Chains A and B, each alone.
Chain A
Amino acid sequence: MSAALSFTSSESFRRTRAMLIKEFIQLRRDRVSFAMIIMVPLVQLLLFGYAINTTPRDLPTAVLLQENSDIGRSVLKALENTKYFKVTRQLHDEAEFDRVLAAGEVLFAIEIPRNFERDVRRGDRPAILVAADATDPVAAGSAMAALGQIVQTALLHDRGLPDVGTSLFEVRSHARYNPAGATQLNIVPGLVGTILTMTMLIFTALSVTREIERGTMESLLSMPITPIEIMIGKIVPYVIVGFVQAAIIIGIGIGLFGVPVFGSLTLLAALSTLFIATNLSVGYTFSTVAQNQLQAMQMSMMFFLPNILLSGFMFPFAGMPVWAQWIGEFLPLTHYLRIVRAIMLKGSTLADLHYDALALTGLMLLAMMIAVTRFRRTLD
């Protein structure tokens, strides 16, 4: 058949050229796609180029000073001089020490023990405790590595200390929640969020544009159903789909990768459902804004990339500049990663996670509000 069509190579060339011209014309007509061809690489490159930093600095650190001494302060100063640590909190007791780490408010907590100065002067080699939140081993890793040697030299220039050949004190570091620094413990919970983001977005991003493209929207709009009813009707089925998906990933994580779940499974299920609903709402919002399915897909991709790169999934969140962290706060995955890592690895409770849970709820309501107002009830 095709042999009969292809008379000569010049005719084949003309047909190919006709197809090519048609595609260019169609591409030019689709303004949004055209704009995206330019904007996507530009924005993403600038955004991620400046935001991503694999050796994070200024990581939030809390300090528990059991005594107020010059040597203690020198040690802290030396820690801050490494640029890896930034003291953001003063703690008052051991209970608070554990709580700020569990809640994810800081990545490190440092304790200078009682009688530290006295013990140093005696040559007793007292120990400073550095506890790290190792749920993200990448973020904690480089700071932990830098810890040992720099602190050794911290007191060299200090006055009148006994010149013992070895170090004057010991740094006892403790990688909490993931003592072995196993990447799976970090990646598997992260993948739960990433996979859910990708699939949930696509499900709903196409839902309204598909009805418009197939012509069923006109009929639907002429019937007595409200935009909110349409939205809820389109989102709820996929909440169930997402829930099943989350259960599969977490199940595999536990069964094959040995990821523990220290916290409550019920809480994890509840907050996962919230996260699923948030992503579905965002996808649905794209669907009401996009003019066709192609645009809806492109918008989803535009949203998906920062979710992966700026949420703390691939690169340490604390290592990003402040402006990038702010963008991150508006991405559902950022909050869910904290939630899922905290529940699985730290055994955190809702009290520890209320900020992220509220943020997810807020983002979901914001998306739904935009969707309902953007939804056109007429064909005007």
Chain B
Amino acid sequence: MNTSPEIVIDVHGLTKKFDGRAVVRDLSMQVKRGTIYGFLGPNGSGKTTTIRMLCGLLTPDEGTGTCLGYDIRTETDKIKRQVGYMTQRFSLYQDLSVRENLEFVARLYAVPDAVGAARDMIARLGLQGREEQLAGSLSGGWKQRLALGACTLPNPQLLLLDEPTAGVDPKARREFWNEIHALAANGLTVLVSTHYMDEAERCHEIAYIAYGVLLTHGTVEEVVAEAKLLTYTVTGGDLPRVSAELINKPGIDSVAPFGTSLHVSGRDAAKLEAAIAPYREDKNLHWTHSQPSLEDVFIDLMGRAKDNFQ
């Protein structure tokens, strides 16, 4: 049944410009079958544009590549049959009921028993009793579940999810991710863009994109290790003051408050140590050497990218 190649997404040098402004620059990525691939980056970094190029909604200005083994420039019709794309904005018909929306999708993909397929999906989503409710009147969490159901209904080989959990409560998010993992376990490949760090850690692999450039990729551990970031956690004392003073010191690349503690990070260990040395003598402050979090790494990456690309 699963006929897709081992490398599901394989693109090189993708560039997309809008009105002369490059939104995605020279982007290359490979995604293996059955992987949950997290696509991270700030707003406007080019995540949505990249996803749209992958499913044939946008034509790249430069670069080549395949999606499910089909050329992303010339074989978009074949790609569309096997890709489920969940848009950032809810894009099912608000004035159709849950059942009608699912039946519509099933028929578009020529699913043999559209009515039955829609009924099964309603049961799977736990939407029984709400079949006849208009999609527009569902709550945010249910809308998102329905949208996921609609794009998995035709049994795609690849799911492209564009910030699927934005504005959804933690419980619904957790259930959503359980569902994604269950789907991936069956061989489905999932590319999911997100802002949430906890979601990034639920992915098999991640890529970080900022200013249209793919800055790093790999497993979470690889990405953290590759950043070669030295991080200290500081507790006690007058942290807002310490934070304000440290932020502009040479050798300190980021200072981020985490509740009652402060994360101080730098790429150059010697310079970082030198910068914090005076503060380590402060008896009120408690310094511990710690593993940088993914967020520390990303904030650092973004800072560096800003210098290079903006």
Q: List A residues at the B interface (Cβ < 8 Å).
A: 214-225, 378-380
Min CB–CB distance A19 → chain B (angstroms): 27
Structural contact, A223 and B109, CB atoms closer than 8 A: yes
Complex CA distance for A225 and B107, rounded to whole angstroms = 10
Scan residues 37-61 of chain B and give those whose CB is less than 8 A from a CB of chain A: 52, 55-59
Q: Which residues of chain A come closer than 8 Å to B57, judged between CB atoms?
A: 218, 221-222, 378-379
Interface hit among B85-93, B199-207, B208-216: B85-93
In-complex Cβ contact of A223 among B52, B90, B105 (8 A): B105
* Known A215-B91, A219-B87; contact A379-B52, beta-carbon cutoff 8 A: yes
A220 to B55, CA, bound (A): 12
* B66, chain A: closest CB distance, angstroms: 17
B56, B91, B105: the one contacting A378 at CB < 8 Å is B56
B83 → chain A, closest Cβ, in Å?
7
Q: Flag if A379 contacts B58 (CB, 8 Å).
A: yes
A282→B262 CA distance, assembly (Å): 64
Q: Is B81 among interface residues, defined by CB-CB distance under 8 A?
A: yes
Expressed in whole angstroms, the minimum distance between the Cβ of B20 and any Cβ of chain A is 14
Contacts of A217 in B (CB 8 A): 91
The reply to whether A216 and B52 contact each other, CB–CB distance below 8 Å, is no
When the two chains form their complex, are residues A224 and B108 in contact, meaning their CB atoms are under 8 A apart?
Answer: yes
How many interface residues does chain B have, given as a range? 20 to 34
Q: Write 24 A-B pairs (CB below 8 A) sorted by A numbering.
A: A214-B94, A215-B89, A215-B90, A216-B92, A217-B91, A218-B57, A218-B87, A218-B89, A219-B85, A219-B87, A219-B92, A220-B91, A222-B57, A222-B80, A222-B83, A222-B85, A223-B80, A224-B80, A224-B108, A224-B109, A378-B59, A379-B57, A379-B58, A380-B59
Closest to A221 in B: B57
Contacts from B to A (Cβ < 8 Å): 52, 55-59, 77, 80-81, 83, 85, 87, 89-94, 105, 108-109
The 10 closest A-B pairs by CB, nearest first: A219-B91, A222-B85, A224-B80, A215-B89, A224-B81, A215-B91, A223-B108, A379-B57, A216-B91, A218-B87
Contacts of A219 in B (CB 8 A): 85, 87, 91-92
Q: How far is the CB of B215 from chain A (nearest CB, A)?
A: 25
Shortest distance in angstroms between B163's beta carbon and chain A's nearest beta carbon? 14
Task: Decide if A225 touches B52 in the complex (CB within 8 Å).
Answer: no
Residues in B neighbouring A214, C-beta threshold 8 A: 94
Smallest CB separation, B182 vs chain A (Å): 23
- Rounded to whole angstroms, the CA-CA distance of A379 and B48 in the bound complex is 12
Of A216, A223, A225, the residue contacting B93 (CB under 8 A) is: A216
The docked-state distance in angstroms from the alpha carbon of A220 to that of B56 is 12
A378 near B85 (CB under 8 angstroms)? no
Question: What residues of chain A lie closer than 8 Å to B55, measured between beta carbons?
Answer: 222
C-alpha spacing A221/B80, complex, angstroms:
9
Inter-chain CA distance A219–B96, complex, in Å, is 15
Instruction: Using CB atoms, name the residue of chain A closest to B51.
Output: A222
A83 to chain B, nearest CB (A): 59
Given contacts A215-B87, A219-B92, A224-B109, 20 further A-B contacts (CB under 8 A): A215-B89, A215-B91, A216-B93, A217-B91, A218-B57, A218-B87, A219-B87, A221-B57, A222-B83, A222-B87, A223-B105, A223-B108, A224-B77, A224-B81, A225-B108, A379-B52, A379-B57, A379-B58, A380-B58, A380-B59
- Residue in chain A with minimal CB distance to B160: A222
Q: Which residues of B contact A225 (CB under 8 A)?
A: 108
B46 to chain A, nearest CB (A): 14
Which residue on A lies nearest to B84, using beta carbons? A222
Q: How far is the CB of B7 from chain A (nearest CB, A)?
A: 21
> Closest CB of chain B to A158's CB: distance in Å?
77
Closest Cβ of chain B to A376, distance in Å, is: 10
| A237 CA to B109 CA, complexed, in Å | 21
B52: chain A residues within 8 A (beta carbon): 379
List chain A residues, Cβ under 8 A from B91.
215-220
CB distance from A222 to the nearest CB of B (A): 4
